[in-house]
């Protein structure tokens, strides 16, 4: 019974078992996780959710590898789910610096910001699929570490690429 629950969670509530693009569907679930973390309106909740999500992913994905007797099974998408909020870290930081507050969930899709959200999502999928150095190499880490770290490193790439663009797009705070 425990194994069934582990797989259900590690496979993104079953999304990872879809026959086409399980990583993309898992990443979409990651957008939902991002919105949920933002809904609290507190950066500490967002950061804690990211850290706890990553820790849970390391354990659950490692257990899923053991259960399925496969290294980094394609059906295991929790690693994508927990990495997606990390993709938004630079945007959140720039927004907080310029406005003095955490981005609210609806702001990811308001006006032109949906294009930035889409760019972040697509960039993550590209880096996750192409696995530039050291993303691919991180997969050699043992168990759930290797499963999860490649996605976290892909998220770091997203921040490095998208961050400078965002810094120029978002309005600066008013100086009084």
H-helix or E-strand spanning residue 98: helix 89-99
- The reported pLDDT for the residue numbered 112 is 83
CA distance 94 to 112: 16
* Longest CA–CA separation in the chain, Å: 61
Q: 60-69, 96-105, 118-127, 160-169: which range is least confident on average?
A: 160-169
- The reported pLDDT for the residue numbered 170 is 55
For residue 97, pLDDT over 90 is answered with no
Q: What is the pLDDT of residues 74-87, one digit of tens each?
A: 999 999 999 999 99
For residue 113, pLDDT over 90 is answered with no
Burial class (CB in 10 A: 0-12, 13-18, 19+), 166: buried
- The reported pLDDT for the residue numbered 167 is 66
For residue 45, pLDDT over 90 is answered with yes
Please report which confidence band the pLDDT of residue 23 belongs to, taking 50, 70 and 90 as the band edges: very high
CA distance 149 to 152: 5
Q: What is the pLDDT of residues 121-157, one digit of tens each?
A: 999 999 999 988 988 888 888 899 999 999 999 999 9
What is the chain's mean pLDDT, rounded? 91
């Amino acid at each position: 019974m425990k194994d069934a629950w582990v797989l259900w969670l590690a496979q993104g509530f079953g999304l990872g078992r879809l026959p086409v693009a399980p990583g993309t569907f898992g990443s979409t679930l990651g957008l939902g996780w991002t919105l949920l973390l933002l809904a609290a309106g507190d950066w500490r909740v967002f950061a804690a959710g990211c850290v706890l999500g990553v820790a849970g992913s390391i354990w659950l994905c490692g257990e899923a590898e053991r259960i399925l007797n496969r290294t980094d099974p394609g059906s295991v998408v929790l690693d994508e789910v927990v990495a997606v909020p990390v993709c938004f870290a630079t945007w959140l930081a720039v927004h907080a610096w310029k406005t003095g507050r955490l981005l609210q969930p609806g702001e990811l899709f308001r006006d032109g910001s949906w294009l930035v959200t889409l760019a972040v999502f697509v960039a993550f999928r590209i880096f996750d699929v192409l696995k530039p150095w050291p993303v691919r190499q991180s997969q050699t880490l043992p168990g759930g570490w290797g499963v999860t770290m490649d996605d976290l490193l892909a998220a770091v790439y997203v921040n490095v690429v998208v961050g400078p663009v965002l810094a120029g797009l978002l309005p600066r705070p008013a100086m009084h």
